[in-house]
């Protein structure tokens, strides 16, 4: 299936209720389970990832398929390793290409019994849950923060807790800070000094918890605000002081001319124009925002240089390659060192104004949402497999219609 997009100019005020954060929701679900809480989480995300997590935690089965939900795969690997029984944890074809060896090796060092059913180092996994014995572990700081968060959340429930040393550069630090802050809300203290995180053995305390709205989802509205100067957008449910590192999107887009104003009625975005000639940023702490910024900068003719992108190659797709491929269809020629950076020096090539531009989403929700606003400059835009957005923002297409972005469903041949 494809969506053919169109844009009708809209001015004035619109109001958007953002989805809940799946990052916070999935952490809360695991902490709820570890604390044996009788309470339901308020404002829980309705994303595919959270539904996958919830489905496993509420299941009586011993075999679980989390689909494309990377957070669920990592968190549940750690959780099931300490639940007595034999479990099988699998996912989509792409999930079977996403490495998990670093986490499995760490858990096995703590006494877990986890093996690979197919390819060494990758899901699906066979997990023999047992009592784990904590102590000291060492991990590279540049691995997925989800590995580290998974270990931290089970740490107080295993014998002797955990002393975790992170070597080298630490990436996605805000996600680790989010994990530790939520653990503290459930009654478990931790200590982070330099590159060592210590979590003592202890007990989680049940509590009534509420998930924040999603700052990652807000990023697409910042993009729309940057491209639609006559539009004023009120985003509902965001917290000014947030656990989410992606709340830094407000500072990034201020450089691109979008002003953020907080009030009791919501978070208001307005376009005040920009004089910036180039955008340079290290995404080491906010890698999920790179796609939004890459597309926005190109559409605004702002050359850019992004660094700190090393985790993008093991996301839902290789996001660096995906951005280069799809922006090239619009005439933008990007370059990369194929490790951790992405740049555009302003170079463009002429493309046909008549041929449709079909954006491949690579089964990646963020590709669909970052590219859709481009129809304002490319009226012949089609989005392939547009419903991948349900992974994090199920109402995306309905919401952006308020800003004049319309879609028509086209059926494609198998």
Contacts with 59 (C-beta within 8 Å, 6 or more apart), sequence order = none
What residues act catalytically? 288
**Coil/strand/helix, residue 151:** helix
Instruction: Quote the CA–CA distance of 395 and 393 in Å, as a whole number.
Output: 6
Instruction: Quote the CA–CA distance of 273 and 255 in Å, as a whole number.
Output: 9
């Amino acid at each position: 299936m494809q969506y053919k997009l169109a844009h009708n100019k809209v001015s004035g005020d619109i109001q958007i209720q953002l989805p809940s954060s799946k990052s916070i929701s999935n952490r809360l679900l695991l902490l709820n389970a570890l604390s044996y809480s009788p309470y339901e989480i308020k404002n829980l995300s309705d994303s595919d990832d959270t539904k996958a997590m919830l489905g496993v935690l509420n299941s009586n089965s011993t075999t679980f398929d989390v689909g494309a939900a990377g957070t669920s795969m990592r968190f549940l690997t750690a959780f099931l390793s300490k639940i007595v029984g034999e479990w099988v944890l699998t996912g989509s074809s792409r999930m079977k290409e996403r490495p998990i060896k670093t986490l499995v090796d760490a858990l096995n060092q703590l006494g877990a019994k986890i093996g690979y059913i197919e390819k060494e180092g990758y899901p699906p996994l066979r997990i023999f849950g047992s009592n784990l014995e904590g102590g000291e572990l060492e991990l590279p700081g540049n691995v997925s923060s989800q590995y580290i968060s998974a270990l931290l959340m089970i740490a107080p429930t295993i014998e002797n807790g955990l002393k975790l040393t992170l070597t080298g550069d630490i990436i996605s630090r805000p996600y680790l800070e989010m994990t530790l802050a939520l653990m503290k809300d459930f009654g478990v203290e931790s200590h982070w000094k330099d590159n060592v995180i210590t979590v003592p053995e202890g007990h989680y305390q049940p509590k009534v918890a509420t998930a924040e709205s999603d700052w990652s989802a807000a990023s697409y509205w910042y993009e729309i605000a940057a491209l639609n100067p006559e539009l004023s957008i009120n985003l509902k449910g965001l917290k000014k002081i947030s656990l989410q590192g992606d709340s830094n999107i407000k500072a990034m887009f201020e450089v691109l001319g979008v002003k953020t104003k907080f009030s009791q009625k919501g978070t208001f975005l307005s376009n005040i124009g920009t004089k910036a000639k180039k955008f340079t940023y290290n995404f080491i702490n906010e890698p999920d925002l790179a796609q939004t910024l890459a597309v926005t900068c190109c559409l605004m003719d702002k050359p850019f240089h992004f660094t700190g992108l090393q985790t993008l190659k093991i996301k839902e797709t290789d996001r660096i390659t995906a951005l280069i491929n799809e922006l090239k269809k619009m005439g933008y020629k990007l370059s990369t060192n194929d490790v951790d950076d992405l740049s555009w020096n302003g170079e463009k090539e002429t493309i046909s104004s008549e041929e449709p531009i079909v954006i491949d989403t690579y089964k990646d929700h963020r590709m669909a949402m970052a590219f859709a606003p481009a129809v304002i400059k490319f009226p012949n835009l089609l989005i392939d497999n547009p419903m991948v957005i349900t992974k994090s923002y199920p109402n995306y297409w309905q919401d952006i219609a308020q800003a004049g972005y319309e879609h028509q469903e086209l059926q494609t041949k198998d």
